[in-house]
């Protein structure tokens, strides 16, 4: 495979000529910030003030226009995050921070803000805020030690600006598991002081075989981390040192890593479990909720079991459907595959979430396997998930789905395919994909909205926290 400077490449990546397809804008028009509650669309302050060296990717060359990195992140975030790009240090005042769910730094130098505002930022994170840093975010606040403790270390030079191999140390972690075991990139590579591997979870590090280690300052261990994360009080922090070059910011995998970092620091699984304002709660853990919102697939009372706030398939009683149809919107479903003996396959933990009774997202015990066509997280018989984000049987998992129905003209001819985005356990596994037809045993497509169906496939799969937010 030919090498293109500045582009992150998976070890077994797609051809470079295909990358522009991955970077194309979403086909669904972005929603305005007010269209989604903050619990669903977190508000992120992307803070790019440079009190020292001004990196070209955050330099605003024209008044009124945002910088390249700001534009790339905003476009990549799409409907998942509201990105507010700012270089105004006043945005770090406590009253301003209170309006954000997460803060992402790309900064240099001693930021010209009062120390109480710097301390306020640290306190905000410790109280449950989400903080991310990119590249030169470690080249900031040298005189304010609590910031160094927050981000995990300080910049100590960049002895390499070249093609390097990066090892993904935690291929199971939601932030980086889409990257595989390693990748190649061309970027400015940092080393750090006041940094310890023991103080954080290292996600990525340099493969020392790809660099001249004699240029580095850590001869005692030759340990050159690239990205790490950690809990900070009730909050979380993620840092990635890559991001100097334009080509890196334009890369799909790099953008996705930052979005996954934001998602992880926001602890989105807990955030989305509670239905936001305006959502229709389809199952709240009570028998009353089941009776109010659901029927058996073929009519009559649903025959599933409710105990301790959990709805469980009663094998043989049939699938259940909502009494009301679902149109465009966001659907949240928590599910748990039972701990059963037996080999993994279509007979273990099998169920499904049928959106509009037409399009099935598979539920199955696929933990630890490569992403599978018809495995868990797949759009059944159409598309495997990009990564397997599954958890072991017996643990609760989440589907967070954004759905846009197919469109039909007055004559009943389809003019646009349905579209779907799926976050599975905090990991984006289907990114605004087209659904070309009904899946498997789903009902035929048509202009009318149909209900949600949860499938009885003879396995006692459990559900909770089912809600739908119409858009």
pLDDT recorded at residue 331:
95
- Mean pLDDT over 106-125 rounds to 96
Residue 319, classified by CB atoms within 10 Å of its CB into exposed (0-12), middle (13-18) or buried (19+), is buried
Helix H segments across 140-209?
A: 145-151
CB 181 within 8 A of CB 11: yes
Supply the DSSP symbol for 374. T
| 266 vs 440, higher pLDDT | 440
pLDDT recorded at residue 270:
46
pLDDT recorded at residue 183:
97
Tens-place pLDDT, residues 240-282: 999 999 999 999 999 999 999 998 898 744 445 678 888 999 9
Supply the DSSP symbol for 258. H
Domains, the chain: 9-266 (3.40.50.880), 275-470 (2.60.120.560)
pLDDT recorded at residue 343:
65
Torsion sign across C-alpha atoms 139, 145, 151, 155: positive
| 20 vs 389, higher pLDDT | 389
Tens-place pLDDT, residues 27-51: 333 333 333 444 467 899 999 999 9
Three-state SS at 44:
strand
Quickly state the pLDDT bin for 467 (edges 50, 70, 90): very high
Quickly state the pLDDT bin for 78 (edges 50, 70, 90): confident
Give the separation between CA 396 and CA 398, rounded to whole angstroms.
7
Report CA 445 to chain centroid distance, whole Å.
29
pLDDT recorded at residue 259:
92
- Mean pLDDT over 317-331 rounds to 96
Give the separation between CA 281 and CA 113, rounded to whole angstroms.
44
- Quote the mean pLDDT of the chain: 88
Angle between helices 68-77 and 252-265 (to 10 degrees): 70
Tens-place pLDDT, residues 202-240: 999 999 999 999 999 987 889 999 999 999 998 999 999
pLDDT recorded at residue 42:
86
Is residue 13 pLDDT above 70, yes or no?
A: no
Tens-place pLDDT, residues 144-200: 999 999 999 999 999 999 999 999 999 888 899 889 999 999 999 999 999 999 999
Three-state SS at 435:
strand
pTM of the predicted structure, to 2 decimals? 0.67
pLDDT recorded at residue 468:
96
pLDDT-wise least confident of 54-68, 143-157, 343-357, 375-389: 343-357
Tens-place pLDDT, residues 392-407: 888 899 999 999 999 9
pLDDT recorded at residue 348:
82
Between the ranges 141-150, 336-345, 423-432, where is the mean pLDDT highest? Answer: 141-150
Give the separation between CA 173 and CA 278, rounded to whole angstroms.
32
- What are the start-end ranges of the E strands in 218-309? 225-232, 235-240, 280-283, 294-296, 305-307
Residue 18, classified by CB atoms within 10 Å of its CB into exposed (0-12), middle (13-18) or buried (19+), is exposed
């Amino acid at each position: 495979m030919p090498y293109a400077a500045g582009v992150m490449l998976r070890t077994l990546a797609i051809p470079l000529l295909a990358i522009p397809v991955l970077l194309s804008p979403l086909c669904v028009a972005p929603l305005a910030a007010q269209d989604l509650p903050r619990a669903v669309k977190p508000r992120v302050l992307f803070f790019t003030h440079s009190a020292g060296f001004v990196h070209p990717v955050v330099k605003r060359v024209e008044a009124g226009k945002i910088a390249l990195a700001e534009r790339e992140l905003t476009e990549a975030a799409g409907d998942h995050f509201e990105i507010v790009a700012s270089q105004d240090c006043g945005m770090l005042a406590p009253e301003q921070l209170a309006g954000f769910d997460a803060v992402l730094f790309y900064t240099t130098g001693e930021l010209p803000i009062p120390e109480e505002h710097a301390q306020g930022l640290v306190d905000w994170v410790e109280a449950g805020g989400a903080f991310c840093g990119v590249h030169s975010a470690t080249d900031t606040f040298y005189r304010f030690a609590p910031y160094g403790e927050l981000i995990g270390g300080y910049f100590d030079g960049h002895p390499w600006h070249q093609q390097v191999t990066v090892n993904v140390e935690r291929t199971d972690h939601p932030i980086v598991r889409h990257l595989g075991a390693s990748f190649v990139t061309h970027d400015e590579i940092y080393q750090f002081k006041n940094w310890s591997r023991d103080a954080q979870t290292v996600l990525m590090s340099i493969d020392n075989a790809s660099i001249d280690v004699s240029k580095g300052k850590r001869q005692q261990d030759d340990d050159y981390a690239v990205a790490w994360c950690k809990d900070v009080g009730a909050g979380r922090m993620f840092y990635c040192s890559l991001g100097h070059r334009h080509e890196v910011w334009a890369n799909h995998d790099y953008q996705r890593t930052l979005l996954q970092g934001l998602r992880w620091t926001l602890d989105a699984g807990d955030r989305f479990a509670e239905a936001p304002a305006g959502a229709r709660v389809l199952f709240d853990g009570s028998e009353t909720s089941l009776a109010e919102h659901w029927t058996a697939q073929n009519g009559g009372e649903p025959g599933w079991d409710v105990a301790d706030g959990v709805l469980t398939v009663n094998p043989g009683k049939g699938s259940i459907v909502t009494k009301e149809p679902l149109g465009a919107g966001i659907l949240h479903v928590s599910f748990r595959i039972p701990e059963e003996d037996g080999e993994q396959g279509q007979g273990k933990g099998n169920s499904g979430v049928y959106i509009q009774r037409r399009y099935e997202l598979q539920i199955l015990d696929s933990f630890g396997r490569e992403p599978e066509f018809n495995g868990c997280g797949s759009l059944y018989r159409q598309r495997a998930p990009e990564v397997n984000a599954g958890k072991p049987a017996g643990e609760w998992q989440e589907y967070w789905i954004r759905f846009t129905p197919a469109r039909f003209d007055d004559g009943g001819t389809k003019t646009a395919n349905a579209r779907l985005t799926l976050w599975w356990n905090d990991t984006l596994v289907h990114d605004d994909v087209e659904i070309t037809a009904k899946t498997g045993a789903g009902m035929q497509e048509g202009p009318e909205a149909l209900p949600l169906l949860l499938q009885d496939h003879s396995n006692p799969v459990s559900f909770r926290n089912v809600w739908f937010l119409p858009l």
